[in-house]
């Protein structure tokens, strides 16, 4: 496996060195999820879905091909970590059933100490960003797409059996999440110093985060604000 990796890296380096218009890049970023709250009425129930937004991170690397004086075509591969806490409240319409006398001795319910952690979610996606950017002086404006494959997730979920007490469990089997997603993004880069640019990016998902079995309210799509740094490896004969 190590020999294959080294051979592939060497072949890629030789290929890039043979084409003066192609450079390498690497970037790191921090992201902030901004999914929308939602509400949905199903029968006598109202589902209120809300998100507590949290920071995540990402990194990727790829090649940049100069198509013309100011236009570049970029292809990369990387990993994004997205974090948030999803909360769902279920309300039942009070006028859907006849009134009954209140139970003077309600059944006691004991909630675990980590009950407030339910809905905490961490998602790790393998991304393949493809985009075109247009450069003007030290600024660069880009537009692209990014198919993603879910490679790992961690979810804190609440479970309640008919006879079992309510418990909080940690799931790492991607339960309820879509394995494949697709998003588009726009970005602005500013060349701070030689070969290093600061960037800001907005990513908008076109596919739902959860699969159909998990749709309660909005089942929102990925929305991220990203800030990061990008490094170019430019060969001496490159005109970028």
pLDDT tens, residue by residue, 147-160: 999 999 998 877 66
**Highest mean pLDDT, choosing among 81-90, 106-115, 185-194:** 185-194
Spatial distance between the Cα atoms of 223 and 214, rounded to a whole number of angstroms: 19
pLDDT at 38 over 80: no
The CA R_g of the chain, rounded to the nearest whole Å, is 24
CA distances from 130 to 63, 78, 103, 182 (A): 10, 11, 61, 12
Mean pLDDT of 91-112: 52
Question: Can you give the residue ranges of every domain in the chain?
Answer: 22-95+112-233
Task: Output the pTM of the full model.
Answer: 0.76
Structure confidence at residue 119 as a pLDDT band (50, 70, 90) = confident
Mean pLDDT of 157-177: 70
Q: Which helix (H) or strand (E) segment is 157 a member of?
A: strand 139-159
Mean pLDDT of 82-86: 88
Q: What is the pLDDT of residue 202?
A: 97
Q: What is the pLDDT of residue 166?
A: 62
CATH of domain 22-95+112-233: 2.40.160.20
> Is the model more confident about 7 or about 145?
145
């Amino acid at each position: 496996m190590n020999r294959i990796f080294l051979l592939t890296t060497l072949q890629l380096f030789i290929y890039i060195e043979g084409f003066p218009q192609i450079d390498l890049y690497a970037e790191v970023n921090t992201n902030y999820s901004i999914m929308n709250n939602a509400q949905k009425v199903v029968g006598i129930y109202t589902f209120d879905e809300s998100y507590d937004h949290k920071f995540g991170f990402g990194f990727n690397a790829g090649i940049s091909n100069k198509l013309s004086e100011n236009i570049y075509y970029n292809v990369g591969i990387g990993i994004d970590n997205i974090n948030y806490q999803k909360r769902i409240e279920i309300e039942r319409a009070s006028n859907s059933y006849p009134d009954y006398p209140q139970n003077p001795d309600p059944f006691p319910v004991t909630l675990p100490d980590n009950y407030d952690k339910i809905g905490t979610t961490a998602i790790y996606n393998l991304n393949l960003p493809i985009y075109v950017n247009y450069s003007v002086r030290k600024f660069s404006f880009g537009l692209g797409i990014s198919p993603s494959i879910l490679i790992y997730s961690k979810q804190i979920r609440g479970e309640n059996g008919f006879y079992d007490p309510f418990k909080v469990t940690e799931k790492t089997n991607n339960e309820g999440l879509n394995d494949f997603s697709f998003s588009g993004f726009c970005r602005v880069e500013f060349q701070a110093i030689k070969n290093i640019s600061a960037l800001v990016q907005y990513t908008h998902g076109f596919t739902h985060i959860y699969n159909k079995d998990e749709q309660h309210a909005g089942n929102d799509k990925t929305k991220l604000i990203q800030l990061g740094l990008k490094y170019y490896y430019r060969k001496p004969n490159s005109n970028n």
